[in-house]
Chains A and B, each alone.
Chain A
Amino acid sequence: AQKITQTQPGMFVQEKEAVTLDCTYDTSDQSYGLFWYKQPSSGEMIFLIYQGSYDEQNATEGRYSLNFQKARKSANLVISASQLGDSAMYFCAMREAQLGNQFYFGTGTSLTVIP
């Protein structure tokens, strides 16, 4: 079974609108971390936001927020007030703290912001 599932290969959003990128995960570990990264066309991996499994509050970093629904095992990224520079690939990732030390990435979502 896939550890991380991103079901939206491509998404479009109008500039200044909000967009939600979906991520579901699969783990039996009680302690884990969830990450979102952005990869622009230049290729580098840019860290956006982190959520720990024991964190009660949803993580926020500027225009990025993580909608963490533990029971549903989902960790959706919300980008508010989209900008043209947000056009990129977005990857969701997980690390299980107790069951092993691997990182697992999803297949990514390509976001295009339309002017």
Chain B
Amino acid sequence: EAQVTQNPRYLITVTGKKLTVTCSQNMNHEYMSWYRQDPGLGLRQIYYSMNVEVTDKGDVPEGYKVSRKEKRNFPLILESPSPNQTSLYFCATYGGAGQPQHFGDGTRLSIL
């Protein structure tokens, strides 16, 4: 079964404490990306990766880091989280033209 797995699903933490949200896929897709979803703003792309060791900024990359050392994994790193990064985060993969993105179940982060 095609899966995009994000962990954790929920996290409450404090300002400045580094955290990592993991994302793993089993579809062998080259394209992976991270989004944040905020009320009234829809989904905004944070970073995306076209392949291993290739990453690019999306519309809202400030305060986030990513890495793509293996095809299946694409972690999102918040080095020094701040309250304005409280949001619902989605990881997604994309198999190419004509195919939909496959989304993980989402990670709800609260930064106090």
Residues of A within 8 A of B (CB): 4, 6, 33, 35, 37, 43-45, 47, 50, 52, 91, 93, 95, 97, 101-108
Among B44, B94, B103, the residue within 8 A (CB) of A45 is B103
Q: Is the CB of A43 within 8 A of B58?
A: no
Please, what's the 1-or-0 string for B89-106, where 1 marks a CB less than 8 Å from any CB in chain A?
010101001111111011
- Using CB atoms, name the residue of chain B closest to A108: B42
Contacts A43-B88, A101-B56, A102-B59: A35 and B101 contacting too (C-beta < 8 A)? Answer: yes
Interchain nearest-CB distance for B37 vs A (Å): 8
Q: Is the CB of A50 within 8 A of B44?
A: no
Q: Rank and list the top 8 A-B pairs by shortest CB-CB distance, nearest first.
A: A47-B100, A45-B103, A105-B43, A107-B42, A105-B42, A108-B42, A43-B106, A106-B42
Q: Is the CB of B100 within 8 A of A50?
A: yes
Chain B residues touching A, majority SS: strand
Residue from A4, A50, A52, A102 having most chain B Cβ neighbours under 10 A: A102
Report the Cα distance A52→B97, complex, angstroms. Answer: 8
Q: Is the CB of A101 within 8 A of B31?
A: yes
Q: Is the CB of B105 within 8 A of A44?
A: yes
Interchain nearest-CB distance for B75 vs A (Å): 19
Residues of the A chain whose Cβ atoms lie less than 8 Å from the Cβ of B90: 45
Q: Is the CB of A50 within 8 A of B103?
A: no
Residues of the A chain whose Cβ atoms lie less than 8 Å from the Cβ of B50: 101
Q: Is the CB of B48 within 8 A of A102?
A: yes
Among B35, B40, B45, B92, the residue within 8 A (CB) of A107 is B40
Residues of the A chain whose Cβ atoms lie less than 8 Å from the Cβ of B105: 43-44
Residue from A43, A91, A95 having most chain B Cβ neighbours under 10 A: A43
Residues of the B chain whose Cβ atoms lie less than 8 Å from the Cβ of A102: 45, 48, 56, 58-59
